Amino acid sequence: MIDWLITFLEWFGVVTAFLALTTILMMMTVVVSRIRRKFPTLPTIPKKKQAKEERRTEYMSKEAREGVTFNDIFMFMIAVPLVLLWVGFAGFVIHTGLNNSQVLENIEAYTTLIAILGGPALLIIKDALDVWKQEQAEKTAFYKVKAQAVIDYNDTELKQAQQIESKQQDQEHKMESKK
């Protein structure tokens, strides 16, 4: 039983270290790209020419781009591994509890550990869901405003076309009455 737990924790440590290394490499890439934007005279590696033509895409302005913040780093370095550890350990306890009666004898210790990990993990999950809800509300509000703008534009265009047609008819009547 203990051997399985130690093996699980070793593997989890390896996976967490790999994720941390990947996150650090991504952050270093962002830092290097920002430095290159500030100092464009630095030497760069020449890019290979692509055979097919690239599609034209529009890019956001530098002010509109979002950078890596402390909260992003916090989420990837602390919050994500904590939630994964909590879920993984709870699943491990359930799995081994079904197969090993010794785990059921020490269930209080396991549930205490799950509760200790679960408190912060649940807060992190709740905050992540709140942020997601806020983003969805912002998207909904944006699309409502955009739809209203399209409706207003079409209405204005229709009124303008009617005014132009009315003026043309008035002009034609004036021209006919002069003859």
Q: What is the pLDDT, as a whole number, of residue 88?
A: 84
pLDDT digits (tens, 9 = 90+) for 4-34: 777 877 788 778 878 877 888 888 888 777 7
Catalogue the long-range contacts made by 47-51 (C-beta closer than 8 Å, 24 or more residues apart): none
Q: Is the pLDDT of residue 65 over 60?
A: no
Confirm if 86 and 114 have CB atoms less than 8 A apart: yes
Q: What is the pLDDT, as a whole number, of residue 141?
A: 92
pLDDT digits (tens, 9 = 90+) for 158-179: 999 999 999 999 999 988 888 7
Instruction: Go through 58-80 and write b for each residue having 16 or more CB atoms within 10 A of its CB, e for each that does not.
Output: eeeeeeeeeeeeeeeeebbbebb
Least confident of 17-21, 32-36, 41-45, 100-104: 41-45
Confirm if 122 and 132 have CB atoms less than 8 A apart: no
Q: What is the pLDDT, as a whole number, of residue 147?
A: 93
Q: Model confidence at 157, in pLDDT bands (50, 70, 90)?
A: very high
- Mean pLDDT, range 91-119, rounded to an integer: 82
With CA atoms as reference, report the closest residue to 87 among 12, 19, 17. 12
Determine the Cα–Cα distance for residues 107 and 138; give it in Å rounded to an integer.
45
With CA atoms as reference, report the closest residue to 79 among 26, 132, 136, 117. 117
Residues 6+ apart with CB under 8 A from 19: 76, 80, 81
The secondary structure of 38-65, three-state, reads: HCCCCCCCCCCCCCCCCCCCCCCCCCCC
| Residue 145 backbone dihedrals phi, psi, to 5 degrees | -65, -40
With CA atoms as reference, report the closest residue to 12 among 65, 71, 83. 83
Q: Is the pLDDT of residue 55 over 70?
A: no
